[in-house]
Amino acid sequence: MLILNKISRYWLCQFIGWGSSMAISIFYYLTLSVRTIDHFFLMVVLSVLLGIIITHLMRIIIMEYKVLEKPIEPQIIYFVALTLLFSVVYAFADVSLEKLFGLRDTGGIKISLANEITRTAISNFFLLFIWNLIYYTYHYVERNRRQVVDTLKLQSVVKELELKTIKSHINPHFIFNALNSIRAMVDENPTRARTAITELSNILRSSMQAEKLETVPLERELNIVKDYLALEKMRFEERLIIEMDIDEDTLGQPVPPMMLQTLVENAIKHGISKMIHGGIVKVTSCFVNNHHELIVQNSGQLDSYINEDGFGVKSTQYRLNLLYQGKATFEIKNVNVDMVESRITMPVAAI
């Protein structure tokens, strides 16, 4: 049992499959064959060993050229082409080795090498076709199963994110600070105070809806970020400088809800709030090399991020991995001595 645990599923299936093929050949020879074939058992063993080698080489090519990641039509072309090619290779190797060691028995009938290879290739084609069909079907089912599991994980992490966003990122300190700023403005600037209340309610509403959506248009996410920065501007006043560099063509691109807001909040919490004279928060959205990039830059140093719990950074990485299956990246780094940059790179979505 311990040995079986150490053998990969692929090799276990190879041994079981080819072992079954050998057992079936021997069974039919012993029960239905009308004549004795010299060296039959040695020929069967040789054919099975060649089959294992040939199919393994075929698998290496499938993996090397990432056939299973291609669209369905190229996959079918590769499927047929590889089956035909390796049927001929398998037949040539099988016939050549049997002739080399004097194992091939033609029953006294003279058959040319080309005809022998052709007959054997036709027989091997059906064998390799079945092997490929099982291999492709397994990976297709496995890929769909992983997608279902990843979808369930994403739903779970989004629900968790909603709670943690309300408790951590849209935290009581931010709400209290915003309410205190609003209270101070009620008498001297009631219009601004009413606007601030609307901005705060927009942020809270968006955080509560995050669990229901996998993505939202960037324009919607930017509106929440602008509301958040407007509230923080009341608190930091001249200490906070806000810059926006948004390519209008990116406004319709889907982005995970509250992700950009989380990065901006981290920029305020770990950067601006720790600097006596404040600093800059700059948000950039653009297309680069057929990818959508979201960049948040803020005055400060990355060291101040590392000493915190890091939920914002961890949740960003985890959500991107689940949502984009490894096709999106996130990095946070020091750009220079007094500037930190958070960068999200996502595939461009057709709109």
Q: What is the pLDDT of residues 238-254, one digit of tens each?
A: 899 999 999 999 999 99
pLDDT of residue 166: 41
pTM: 0.51
Highest mean pLDDT of the ranges 1-15, 72-86, 165-179: 72-86
> Cα–Cα–Cα angle for 181, 184, 189, nearest 5°?
105
| Burial category of 37 from C-beta neighbours within 10 Å (exposed 0-12, middle 13-18, buried 19 and up) | middle
Tokens of 297: 């830059």
pLDDT of residue 98: 82
> Cα–Cα–Cα angle for 79, 81, 85, nearest 5°?
120
The more confidently predicted of residues 317 and 240 is 240
pLDDT of residue 177: 67
Q: What is the pLDDT of residues 29-40, one digit of tens each?
A: 888 877 777 788
Instruction: Give the CATH architecture of domain 170-347.
Output: 2-Layer Sandwich (3.30)
Please report, for the chain, the start and end positions of each structural domain, with discontinuous segments joined by +: 2-148, 170-347
pLDDT exceeds cutoff 60 at 99: yes
| Spatial CB neighbours of 270, under 8 Å, sequence gap ≥ 6 | 300, 304, 305, 308, 340
